[in-house]
Amino acid sequence: MEKIFFTFKIPDEGMLLLKGYEVTGNTQDRFLSKKEIIEGAKNCSALITLLSDKIDSEVIVSLPRLKVIANYAVGFNNIDIETARQRGVRVTNTPGVLTDATADLAFGLILATSRRIVESDRFVREHRFNGWKPDLFTGPSLADKNLGIVGLGRIGKAVAIRAKAFGMKVVYHNRKPMLPEEEEALGVRHMSLEDLLRISDFLSLHVPLTAETRHMLNEKRISMMKREAIIINTARGALIDEEYLIKALRDGRIAAAGLDVYEEEPFISQELLDLPNVVLLPHVGSATHEARRAMSIMVGRNVAAVLEGKEPPNVVV
Ligand code: NAP
């Protein structure tokens, strides 16, 4: 019987699809080391992984029976795709089912940062609310503001739809612009990254983390932005040079940031934690019950397909 190893427990729905196989894995509430993953997945045909598991060439080469790595995420920057390709190991992900959940959270961060919701909550809990005041926790409105979306894919488009409902003007940057009729239907306009940075009042990142996009928001690019701009990142932390972002937020070079992801996740620097003008979340973009269950089913289907010798539904390679 073919064996499957999971590095962390995921919802049951997908695992129920794998009943015909010998499934083992980590049932503790802690992440496994690379050594433990290699040891646990020895002789396994399938490996179910989280985005926090670094599946590098050493792991892949150490598992000669491996046929598939099923990542419980849409992003797959944690996996050495080239080595997997060379060794004929399939890699799968969970696109689409987490789009609305992640877009909701990105929009939640737009509202939380602009309307200073977290700061206001702290203020109330500290018993400092002593009456309505004209200037109490004022922030920018959303209507008529420019939202720049970098990466207008599944999640970026879902954010654009939400932003249009709030009366925002949406501009975007992709490597390949959409067709004019698609742009018109969504009410968005393509721009170079530099032009987009200059006009954005809000900037939301939705590109995958690749060698090309790492630190795409660096000192030079952040310096092009308006001082009143707010940066939202629900994609991957390393898209931004976090050290410079902290400096820019501290010096008032930009107004605020809403972050769900970090450069050295789960490490978050004390300087970032100390800033009042940031809202910090623990990588919960896809954390709805529905999305997490649907992601699990996708993982189950992807693993089952490969082990049955079929093409998996969600192929990375
Ligand atoms: P997607 O549909 O593949 O969209 C990615 C978009 O980025 C595409 O429109 C692509 O267009 C654009 N893009 C790629 N490389 C680019 C570059 N170098 N410059 C400019 N644009 C570029 O992916 P998705 O499903 O929306 O997911 C996006 C990312 O969100 C994932 O990769 C993942 O890292 C992250 N995510 C985070 C969470 C969370 O929990 N916080 C949850 C889900 C997803 P072109 O190819 O035309 O450039």
Q: Check if 301 has its Cβ closer than 6 Å to any atom of ligand 1.
A: no
Question: Which among 47, 52, 45 is positioned nearest to 25, based on CA atoms?
Answer: 47
pLDDT band at 3 (very low <50, low <70, confident <90, very high): very high
User: Which residue from 10, 60, 14 is spatially nearest to 37, judged by alpha carbons?
Assistant: 60
Query: What 3-state DSSP class applies to 83?
Result: helix
- pLDDT for 122 equals 98
Q: Could you tell me if 134 and 61 lie in one domain?
A: no
Distance CA 287, CA 88 (A): 32
Cβ 261 under 6 angstroms from ligand 1: yes
Q: Are residues 203 and 127 in the same domain?
A: yes
Q: Whose CA is nearest to atom 3 of ligand 1?
A: 153
Note whether residue 315 is domain-resident. no
Q: Is 76 domain-assigned?
A: yes
Residue 315's pLDDT is 98
Based on the fold, state whether residues 196 and 105 are members of the same structural domain: yes
Residues 176 and 30 in one domain: no
Note whether 260 and 158 are same-domain residues.
yes
Domain assignment present for 117: yes
Domain co-membership, 159 together with 212: yes
Cβ–ligand 1 contact at 155 (below 6 Å)? yes
Whole-number pLDDT of residue 42: 97
Helices (H), 231-313: 242-250, 270-274, 289-307
Percentage of the chain beyond pLDDT 70 is 100
Distance 157 CA to ligand 1 centre (A): 10
Report pLDDT digits (tens) over 104-162.
999 999 999 999 999 999 999 999 999 999 999 999 999 999 999 999 999 999 999 99
Asked if residue 109 and residue 57 are part of one domain, the reply reads no
Looking at the fold, whether 87 and 113 belong to one and the same domain comes out as: no
Contact between 227 and 200 (Cβ < 8 Å): no
What is the total count of domains within the chain?
A: 2
Structure confidence by residue, pLDDT tens digits, 56-109: 999 999 999 999 999 999 999 999 999 999 999 999 999 999 999 999 999 999
Confidence at residue 152, expressed as pLDDT on a 0 to 100 scale = 98
Q: Is 27 helix (H, G, I), strand (E, B) or coil?
A: coil
Q: Read off the pLDDT of each residue in 4-22 and give the average, rounded to a whole number.
A: 98
Question: Considering the domain boundaries, does residue 312 fall inside one?
Answer: no
Average pLDDT, rounded, for the chain? 98
Give 198-252 pLDDT, tens digit per residue.
Answer: 999 999 999 999 999 999 999 999 999 999 999 999 999 999 999 999 999 999 9
Instruction: Tell me the CA–centroid distance for residue 153 and ligand 1, in Å.
Output: 6
Average pLDDT over residues 38-45: 98
Whether residues 240 and 297 share a domain: the answer is: no
Question: 314 lies in a domain?
Answer: no
Percentage of residues of the chain with pLDDT beyond 90: 100
Q: How confident is the model at residue 259 (pLDDT cuts 50, 70, 90)?
A: very high
User: Which tens digits make up the pLDDT trace of 274-293?
Assistant: 999 999 999 999 999 999 99
pLDDT of residue 145: 98
**SS3 for 38-56, per residue?**
HHHCCCCCEEEECCCCCEC
Task: Indicate if 153 and 219 belong to the same structural domain.
Answer: yes
Q: What's the Cα-to-Cα distance from 23 to each of 36, 43, 303, rounded to whole Å? A: 16, 12, 11
Residue length of the chain: 317
- Residue 177 CA: nearest ligand 1 atom is 47
In this structure, the answer to whether residues 71 and 130 fall within a common structural domain is no
Does residue 228 fall inside a structural domain?
Answer: yes
Taking the CA of residue 99 as reference, the ligand 1 atom at the shortest distance is 25
Question: Tokens standing for 123?
Answer: 């203020």
For residue 227, the CA-to-ligand 1 centroid distance in Å is 26
Domain range for 182 is 99-280
Q: Is the CB of 207 under 6 A from ligand 1?
A: yes
Catalytically active residues, by annotation: 236, 265, 283
Distance of CA 178 from the midpoint of ligand 1 (Å): 14
Has residue 317 been placed in a domain? Answer: no
Count of C-beta atoms within a 10 Å radius of residue 75: 17
Distance of CA 72 to the CA centre of its chain: 12
Predicted confidence band of residue 38 (pLDDT cuts 50, 70, 90): very high
Q: Is residue 313 part of a domain?
A: no
Same domain flag for 80 and 152: no
257's enclosing H/E stretch is strand 256-259
Q: Which residues pair with 173 in a beta bridge?
A: 150
**Direct distance between the N- and C-terminal alpha carbons of the chain, in angstroms, rounded to an integer:** 25
CATH code of the domain in which 255 resides: 3.40.50.720
User: What is the model's pLDDT at position 2?
Assistant: 97
